[in-house]
Structure 1
Amino acid sequence: MATEPNDLGKYFIEHGNAGDVEGLVALYEPDAVLAFPPGSLATGHAEIRKVYEQFMAAAPVLEPGRQHPALVSGDLALTVVTLTTGELTVEIARRQPDGSWLWVLDQPMLVP
């Protein structure tokens, strides 16, 4: 459970390197939107699961980038990571009723 918005990025790396597709999907709200692969949109857990099944099939090794401080306003947070490639990941997370955080919108490959 992500108790802070930036926990989501840490858990993404952990689940991704473990090949845990369901763990990746669990980081998103049920109707979240993922902009990946570039030029595509996946909406909802079923579509996001398909994206990550394909992504994990290549057995990528994920490295944490530089996590920027989350910008929080009430129950919304903007999270940004500068990847080792220089690209950015930009996400909007929402605080859930139990106090945890889940991504609502995810743009994982933004070129500055």
Structure 2
Amino acid sequence: MPLAGGAAAFCRLAHAFPAALDDRYPDGVAFSGGAKFRAQPSGGRVMNVSNRICAALLLSGLVGWASGAAVAQEMAPSAADCFLPAFKSGDADAVTACYAEDAVLWIPGGPMVKGHAEIRDAFADFFADVTIKDVQISIMGDEVMGDTRASWGTYTVIRIDKATQAESVQRGRYVEVSKMIGGRWLYIVDHPADDPPPAPESEQDM
């Protein structure tokens, strides 16, 4: 907090100077013409003024630091910025690095997994069968509340089956919660869910 630190140093100086001056010149400093100046006039008006100035400076410094920290958090890459290139490259380790150590992931059509080991195994199994041709997300909402961030939207994954080379499109929606940990946004909860399959034509005609 550079600004707050500077304000604190000023306050220490402002409080020390009047007392030091009066210790050296207890009767005041005489000027030509007989006028005298005392660093601490009766009633402690100088100290009261300096106290008010110091309080204002410290408050401004703290507010400025808090605002700067909030801007830095919002400017930091999101967990999705970490996840998307790692997922597209099929790198289970890089994907896992986008999650907090105790994160929870719900796998579309599968079980819940928790923690780095289970999350890594889940993605490693997935990437063993498919190659990711492309992945896109459409963000519908994104809210930052202190060190916590919530996002939601839809996704599209184009994948190729490694055994058959068949291409398929996976669409769904997601809700995710991330937390600022060590200067990075990391998932603590990730809940993607595939869209339901389209209804048979006979049902659509009804």
Q: What is the TM-score of this pair, normalised by structure 1?
A: 0.83
The AA in structure 1 aligned to 2:135 is E
2:118 counterpart of 1:56: no
Aligned to 2:177: 92
**Corresponding pairs, count:** 108
2:187 counterpart of 1:103: yes
CA contact (8 A) 1:32 1:45 kept: yes
> Structure 2 regions of 5+ residues with no counterpart?
1-74, 157-169, 197-206
Aligned sequence identity (%): 30
CA contact (8 A) 2:99 2:188 kept: yes
Superposition deviation, residue 31 in structure 1: 0.6
Higher helix share: 2
Give 1:36's match in structure 2, choosing from 107, 120, 135: 107
Aligned to 2:51: none
Deviations 1:61-83 (A, max 9, x none): 34212123421111111111312
Q: What is the TM-score of this pair, normalised by structure 2?
A: 0.47
Give 2:149's match in structure 1, choosing from 77, 80, 97: 77
**Following TM superposition, where does structure 1 have runs of at least 4 consecutive aligned residues deviating by more than 4 angstroms?**
none
Superposition deviation, residue 13 in structure 1: 1.8
2:73 counterpart of 1:22: no
CA distance in 1, matches of 2:171, 2:92: 25
Root mean square deviation of aligned Cα: 2.1
Superposition deviation, residue 37 in structure 1: 3.8
CA distance in 1, matches of 2:173, 2:145: 21
CA distance in 2, matches of 1:33, 1:45: 9
Superposition deviation, residue 99 in structure 1: 2.2
2:117 counterpart of 1:46: yes
1:56 is paired with a residue whose SS is helix
Aligned to 1:66: 138
> Structure 1 regions of 5+ residues with no counterpart?
none
Superposition deviation, residue 111 in structure 1: 4.7
CA distance in 2, matches of 1:105, 1:81: 14
Aligned to 2:76: 3
CA contact (8 A) 1:28 1:45 kept: yes
